[in-house]
């Protein structure tokens, strides 16, 4: 019987030093804060999701909470990447038959009766006070994961990013899909429990438990802000 701990064995097997604490993982020099899908169609009254009959209160609360975290991360030198969807278009160049069939059965009119994140529309705009600055990368996607057929990984590799801090909506769909894909690409994944939201608490909590078990670490906005505050040594 060995006395070696699992984490010690992991360190022995790794080809480079492990990042074993939250502070080490989210050092600004190798961390990107991803702000995922914080768009009116997903977060605002009158957006596609609300028109389909779902409660967007938790998404709206995240839209109010994130600007301060974004500002703190920016001041600390964290790379901030805004991720947005573009789904509905004139002539429908993005939505497949499989996507539309699923939407027709389960999305309450979203993507079909009501357009979703149509470029140039109010629904596609970032919600509330969330706005990228001129030098912030903005990644546009057409499916749930921020990695799927986008330039996200090119940006991350060019900046030597090791850790992804995920915020936005929804925890169980686009955030969760991005967390899985990020981990599969060998990034450390950190998800803010109160910087993300789903349209039911059950779905939100279940996804966070799954991510914590298999794909990354769960933390809070306050903890992130504390680590990124001036004079914090991690």
Active-site hit among 25, 141, 172, 181: 141
User: Is the predicted pLDDT of residue 178 greater than 70, yes or no?
Assistant: yes
Q: How far apart are the first and last CA of the chain?
A: 35
Contacts (Cβ under 8 Å, ≥6 apart) of 15: none
Separation of alpha carbons 180 and 86, rounded Å: 21
136 is catalytic: no
From 191, 152, 148, select the one nearest 172 (Cα to Cα): 191
* Nearest CA among 226, 86, 228 for reference residue 149: 86
* Active-site residue (options: 37, 41, 172, 181): 37
Q: Is residue 232 among the annotated active site residues?
A: no
Please give the Cα distance from 87 to 115 (Å, whole number): 8
pLDDT at 114: 94
In the chain, domain spans: 19-228
Summarised one tens digit per residue, pLDDT across range 78-124 is 999 999 999 999 999 999 999 999 999 999 999 999 999 999 999 99
Whether 37 is catalytic is yes
- CATH for 19-228 is 3.40.50.850
The model carries a pTM of: 0.96
Q: Rounded to whole angstroms, how far apart are CA atoms 218 and 76?
A: 20
Structure-token match 């709206």, residue found: 60
Yes or no: say if 220 and 194 are a contact pair by the CB < 8 Å rule: yes
pLDDT at 233: 58
Q: Is the pLDDT of residue 226 over 60?
A: yes
Q: How many CA atoms lie within 13 A of 149 on its CB side?
A: 7
Per-residue tokens: 147: 């990695």
Q: Which of 43, 116, 117, 174 is catalytic?
A: 174
79, 161 Cβ separation under 8 angstroms = yes
Residue 77: DSSP 8-state? T
Residue 1 has pLDDT above 70, yes or no: no
């Amino acid at each position: 019987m060995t006395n070696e701990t699992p984490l010690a064995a992991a360190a022995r097997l790794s080809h480079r030093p492990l990042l074993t604490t939250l502070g080490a993982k989210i050092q600004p020099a190798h961390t990107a804060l991803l702000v995922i899908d914080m768009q009116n169609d997903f977060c605002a009254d009158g957006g596609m999701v609300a028109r389909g009959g779902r409660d967007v209160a938790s998404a709206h609360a995240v839209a109010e909470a994130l600007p301060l975290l974004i500002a703190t991360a920016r001041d600390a030198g964290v790379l901030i990447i805004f991720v947005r969807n573009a789904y509905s278009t004139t002539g429908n160049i993005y939505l497949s038959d499989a996507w539309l069939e699923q939407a027709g059965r389960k999305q309450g009119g979203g993507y079909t009766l009501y357009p979703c994140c149509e470029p140039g529309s109010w629904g596609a705009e970032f919600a509330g006070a969330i706005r990228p600055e001129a030098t912030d990368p903005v990644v546009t996607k057409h499916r749930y994961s921020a990695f799927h057929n986008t330039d996200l990984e090119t940006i991350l590799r060019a900046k030597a990013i090791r850790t992804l801090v995920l915020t936005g909506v929804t925890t169980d769909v686009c955030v969760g899909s991005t967390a899985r894909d990020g981990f599969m690409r060998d990034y450390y994944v950190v998800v803010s429990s109160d910087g993300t939201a789903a349209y039911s608490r059950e779905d939100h909590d279940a996804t966070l438990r799954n991510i914590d078990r298999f794909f990354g670490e769960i933390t809070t906005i306050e903890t992130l802000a504390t680590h990124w505050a001036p004079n914090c040594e991690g």
